[in-house]
Amino acid sequence: MGIDYGTKKTGIAVTDPLQIIVNPLETVETKTLFEFLTDYFEKEEVDKVIVGEPFMADGFTPAQHHKAVMRFVDQFRKKFPDCEVDLSDETYSSRHAREIINRSVSSRKKRRNKLLVDKISATLILQQYLNHI
């Protein structure tokens, strides 16, 4: 599972058991994220979660949002101690998601849909991670 954590909304993506195909799953209100994850984990087996780690454009300096992401990761580890968590650089994931949406979605209204951007970003984070293991 890939997570693009945001202070208001969080994008979620999943892969098949063989880790061949990554698909966007959902964008959820961050305030209900743990409720969503608890429900999802009861229905589906998830061994590992990849969380996007935000850095500045230089790839080294933590972005402003970095502390919030790390707090989420700490809370996640406490709530789901049996699920492994790894971090993956999310630099430019939202920008790349918008580019993909602009190329592939014909409706202007859908292209401006931030919910779509979040779950596509989560998809990119997870795919990038899988490409490097």
pTM score, two decimals?
Answer: 0.85
Query: Which two tokens mark 51?
Result: 């969380």
d(CA 123, CA 63): 20
- Give me the domains of the chain, ranges plus CATH numbers: 2-131 (3.30.420.140)
Write out the two tokens for 36: 């969503």
Of the listed ranges 5-9, 32-36, 83-87, 89-93, the least confidently predicted one is: 89-93
Q: Which residue has the tokens 């994931």?
A: 93
Q: Are 35 and 11 in contact (CB under 8 A)?
A: no
Residue whose entry in the numeric block shows the structure tokens 């991670």: 129
Other C-beta atoms within 10 Å of 68: how many?
Answer: 15
Instruction: Kindly report, residue by residue over 53-77, the tens digit of the pLDDT.
Output: 988 777 777 778 889 999 999 999 9
